[in-house]
Amino acid sequence: MAYRTSQKIQEMKDAKKQHIEESAAKVFAEKGYYQTKVADILERADISTGSFYFYFNNKEELFESLYDEMIQTYLSVLQDAIDTMKDNADSIAESITKAVSLSLQTFQTKKELARIMLISSVGLSAEFEKKRIADHQKISLVFEEIFRGLLQKEVIRVPDAKVAAVLFAGSIYSVITHWLQENTAIDLVEYSDPLIAYNLQALGIQCNDSDLTAKYIPIEIKNANHFHKESI
Amino acid sequence: MAYRTSQKIQEMKDAKKQHIEESAAKVFAEKGYYQTKVADILERADISTGSFYFYFNNKEELFESLYDEMIQTYLSVLQDAIDTMKDNADSIAESITKAVSLSLQTFQTKKELARIMLISSVGLSAEFEKKRIADHQKISLVFEEIFRGLLQKEVIRVPDAKVAAVLFAGSIYSVITHWLQENTAIDLVEYSDPLIAYNLQALGIQCNDSDLTAKYIPIEIKNANHFHKESI
Amino acid sequence: MAYRTSQKIQEMKDAKKQHIEESAAKVFAEKGYYQTKVADILERADISTGSFYFYFNNKEELFESLYDEMIQTYLSVLQDAIDTMKDNADSIAESITKAVSLSLQTFQTKKELARIMLISSVGLSAEFEKKRIADHQKISLVFEEIFRGLLQKEVIRVPDAKVAAVLFAGSIYSVITHWLQENTAIDLVEYSDPLIAYNLQALGIQCNDSDLTAKYIPIEIKNANHFHKESI
Amino acid sequence: MAYRTSQKIQEMKDAKKQHIEESAAKVFAEKGYYQTKVADILERADISTGSFYFYFNNKEELFESLYDEMIQTYLSVLQDAIDTMKDNADSIAESITKAVSLSLQTFQTKKELARIMLISSVGLSAEFEKKRIADHQKISLVFEEIFRGLLQKEVIRVPDAKVAAVLFAGSIYSVITHWLQENTAIDLVEYSDPLIAYNLQALGIQCNDSDLTAKYIPIEIKNANHFHKESI
DNA sequence: CATGAATGAGGCTTCATTCAT
DNA sequence: AATGAATGAAGCCTCATTCAT
């Protein structure tokens, strides 16, 4: 009985904590870290100061945990894509397509994730920058290792796996950032095809349409891209 | 006599103002906008509060003017590159190479420019973001127009000029950001070749070594890149 | 229970707010608006900076609300006097006596009201002056309307109701200001009789002692004035 | 020769000093003491900071000297009026009329004098208030002594010479203050007649038209007031 | 657990005054 | 004498955090 109760309570606590986190994420994404006052979060989450400090030690920690969670989310998305790559190593293009596609789909559904990871967390302080840099290097490393492997197999042609990884990751960020900054209702995934095309070509991968109409790209935008059709 | 004097004083004022700007740029680049206290700038520039507010209305305006100056600097660098492109339109690869090269050289010599433009000015507030977004769209547009022209002449192959521009600009930013975040003594221009290679290939431009050993790339790093050597 | 609690808290908040107001009123009255630093109010009220700004938006607003309150207090005191006038319109002298008497009694018990209304709020800024002028014109208008009515009934003899109102109000202010500036322990109400006498005579109202020993003048000072005794 | 030169210089210095004083008086009158920044005075007088501090020790002293000058001006105006009173002591009404008239004429021509004396100098600080109070008591005393003399001669009927003086002075201030606060183009001297009438009547002085059409009232407004005509 | 009143360190800015030229 | 750049003390206010209820 007591167990049941405390379990329920625990669930409510967890729910409330998550509610605060979600509210905070929205505000951080909208206003940036410093312009987000604790009071703004309280208002958005409709809670009291006391509650806030019951669930979180301070504003900074909350932000960091949100940020960490987002980096983790993205890293695991990437890991998923990679794991699939290893499974069917025959089609590199498809694998890369998947990685990009999944990335965009993730950020599309979690716009706050995108904003906080790519905008709100930038340039906060020398200390936080160290953390952020390390995290982005971690992400970059994921691509770097893949590229290194592909380089050895000579399926991609790039002068430097590391730089390629930086550029590949950067290209994804660019598109997301661009999408975040448009105030149109365009879907992020609509950028999938040109983004993938750009990168595949950049990596020197020969690919045909069948790769690009991969199952990871939502059907309705498949036909948007007729790139390479005229290539011999 | 009076003229002589006031001219000298004006020069000293200008010098002092610039001195403050430079000091401020360093601190902003190091600590970010919000972590930079006016007191930090005073200390760095070795001036009094009064002097600061004699030359600038407030911290925000100083930052904005620094930021604006940097955007302008970069835009004019790009414009230079474009003007040359128009002159010798035969070699597109060379032109693009120049644009990238000049960009990197600029940021290399003005590291604070890079940090403030790409890091310290990010996510400050909803209002500043509007400005920043507009500026980056302006930069992107420069590339977009070039790409649009090249698309018509069928010298590049990309599905969408706009996205290509975003990706092209993004690739430059990625490299610079990466370089800023490394604490090694590596030159930014060392990234020129792989960056150019990645983009040329992405744009579907056939190029050979001679393009890459363009005169805009400082000699000492020319040989660093052996990319494409094995290409037929 | 919760109702009980929040009600208690609300009462305490109100009490604290009023405590701050009273403290501030004292300091404003003593030192003037500009010489009163927020820190002075904090010290006087024995509260923290945070508390101050929890209850008030800023120093200016607090002052204005104090000032407004005082003007309202005085206006309602005047209104009371007027209402009585209308009831027993037979004795004009008595009514006027009451108006003056009540005014003085009010200011006597609320010395800060007097100081802030007549001294601390004077000449603060062009903007505040507009407000202050409007308020004083409102007060003056109260008298003006009465005088206009009395003029029609030919019970007073003055060339101009408006100027008479200004002078009547001014006479009250003069006495209060004089009283504020003396550092003797003289009661303000002791000035009632000569003040009333001066004005009644100025207004051309024939009056005898019985009017002046009106019930509105505290008994103990009734005998202080032997004016008019020798008048036939 | 040297004498001649230094004399000229002295004259120029005096002129400049006076120019600053006049400029400052205007600003103080417009904005109040605290809202008047030294920079405002500099701009109005079109001088440099250095010049300002060459001629005056500080802002406070400048204000005080302006204020003192104005009090002195008014006191000497009053003294003039009194001296005449003593000469032709037969007509008290005329003398009082002259005192009031001269006061108003003075303030009319020197609006800044009025504003600074009656508004800008009010409630500045506890210390300055002492000075201001003393000055006003000095002015009041002038009237008080006259009234005391008149009381003895039984030409006026007031319960208390001191209070009468306060009220008399106050009535003048009221009218001036009222005039300052109107933004119409009405002349201050237009208030002369009703003001004089109010006070004469208040003092219990029997007077007829001939007194009021005294030579001290500018001709054009003499006929404005027909007060007391119907009195027997 | 929740509430929100209370705290106070610390930031930005103003502005009277000084001083080198 | 004149200039105006330089100074820095001091004021107002914000806002993350604490704590009593």
The predicted-structure confidence for D60-117, as pLDDT tens digits, reads as follows 999 999 999 999 999 999 888 888 776 665 677 788 888 899 899 999 999 999 999 9
Decide if pLDDT at D158 tops 60: yes
Looking at the structure, do residues B50 and B152 belong to the same domain, yes or no? no
Q: Do D122 and C122 touch (CB under 8 A)?
A: yes
In the block, tokens 């979060």 appear at A41
Residue D11 sits in a domain of what CATH number?
1.10.10.60
Residues of C in contact with D164 (CB under 8 A): 194, 198
Cα–Cα–Cα angle for A180, A184, A188, rounded to 5 degrees: 50
The verdict on residue A138 lying in a domain is yes
Residue A137 sits in a domain of what CATH number?
1.10.357.10
- Distance, angstroms, CA D56 to C1' E18? 14
Average pLDDT over residues B77-100: 78
From C56, C80, C95, the end of a domain falls on: C56
Looking at the structure, do residues C51 and C67 belong to the same domain, yes or no? no
Q: How many domains does chain C have?
A: 2
Average pLDDT over residues B150-160: 87
The verdict on residue B185 lying in a domain is yes
What Rg value do the Cα atoms of chain A yield, rounded?
Answer: 21
Cα–Cα–Cα angle for B189, B195, B201, rounded to 5 degrees: 150
From C32, C56, C80, the end of a domain falls on: C56
Q: What is the pLDDT of residue C91?
A: 72
Q: What is the mean pLDDT of each run of 10 residues along chain C (232 residues)?
A: 71 96 97 98 97 98 96 92 70 81 92 95 96 96 90 88 95 96 91 92 71 40 36 28
The verdict on residue C141 lying in a domain is yes
C-alpha closest to that of C96 among C159, C188, C172, C179? C172
In the block, tokens 């290792």 appear at A145
Measuring alpha carbon to C1', the residue closest to nucleotide E21 is B5
- The C-alpha torsion from C209 through D153 and D231 to D143, rounded to 10°, is -90
Q: What is the pLDDT of residue C199?
A: 93
Q: What is the pLDDT of residue D226?
A: 33
Looking at the structure, do residues C8 and C119 belong to the same domain, yes or no? no
Q: Please give the model's pTM, rounded to 2 decimal places.
A: 0.88
Check if C225 contacts D (Cβ < 8 Å).
yes
Check if B215 contacts A (Cβ < 8 Å).
no
Q: What is the pLDDT of residue D149?
A: 87
Q: Identify the residue with better confidence: D207 or B18.
A: B18
Looking at the structure, do residues A68 and A52 belong to the same domain, yes or no? no
Q: What value does the mean pLDDT of chain D take? A: 85
- Is the shortest CB-to-strand distance from D34 to strand F under 7 Å? no
Q: What is the pLDDT of residue D98?
A: 83
Q: How many angstroms away from the CA of B123 is the closest CA of chain A?
A: 5
Q: What is the pLDDT of residue C150?
A: 87
Contact of B158 with A197, CB cutoff 8 Å: yes
- Distance, angstroms, CA B25 to C1' F5? 23
Looking at the structure, do residues B111 and B132 belong to the same domain, yes or no? yes
Residue ranges in chain A whose pLDDT is less than 50: 209-232
The verdict on residue D119 lying in a domain is yes
Q: Which domain holds residue A130?
A: 63-215
- Is the shortest CB-to-strand distance from D134 to strand E under 7 Å? no
Integer Cα distance of B23 and B41 in angstroms: 6
Reported as a single tens digit per residue, the pLDDT across C186-229 is 999 999 999 999 999 999 886 554 444 443 333 333 333 333 33
Integer Cα distance of D29 and D47 in angstroms: 19
- Is the shortest CB-to-strand distance from C74 to strand E under 7 Å? no
Q: Do D201 and C197 touch (CB under 8 A)?
A: no
Looking at the structure, do residues B69 and B155 belong to the same domain, yes or no? yes
The verdict on residue D232 lying in a domain is no
Contact of B195 with B170, CB cutoff 8 Å: no
Contact of C81 with C96, CB cutoff 8 Å: no
Reported as a single tens digit per residue, the pLDDT across B31-59 is 999 999 999 999 999 999 999 999 999 99
Strand E positions within 7 A of protein Cβ atoms: 1-21
Average pLDDT over residues B137-159: 90
Looking at the structure, do residues B94 and B164 belong to the same domain, yes or no? yes
- The angle that helices D126-152 and D59-87 make with each other, rounded to 10 degrees, is 0
The verdict on residue A132 lying in a domain is yes
Q: Where are the alpha helices (DSSP H) in chain C?
A: 2-31, 38-45, 49-55, 59-87, 92-109, 111-115, 126-152, 161-181, 192-203, 209-212
Q: What is the pLDDT of residue B213?
A: 41
Six-digit token string for C77: 């005191």
The verdict on residue C220 lying in a domain is no
Instruction: Kindly report the number of other CB atoms within 10 A of residue D2's CB atom.
Output: 6
Looking at the structure, do residues D98 and D157 belong to the same domain, yes or no? yes
Looking at the structure, do residues C81 and C155 belong to the same domain, yes or no? yes
Looking at the structure, do residues A122 and A203 belong to the same domain, yes or no? yes
The verdict on residue C226 lying in a domain is no
Q: What is the pLDDT of residue C154?
A: 87
- Is the shortest CB-to-strand distance from A159 to strand F under 7 Å? no
Looking at the structure, do residues A97 and A199 belong to the same domain, yes or no? yes
Looking at the structure, do residues C43 and C69 belong to the same domain, yes or no? no
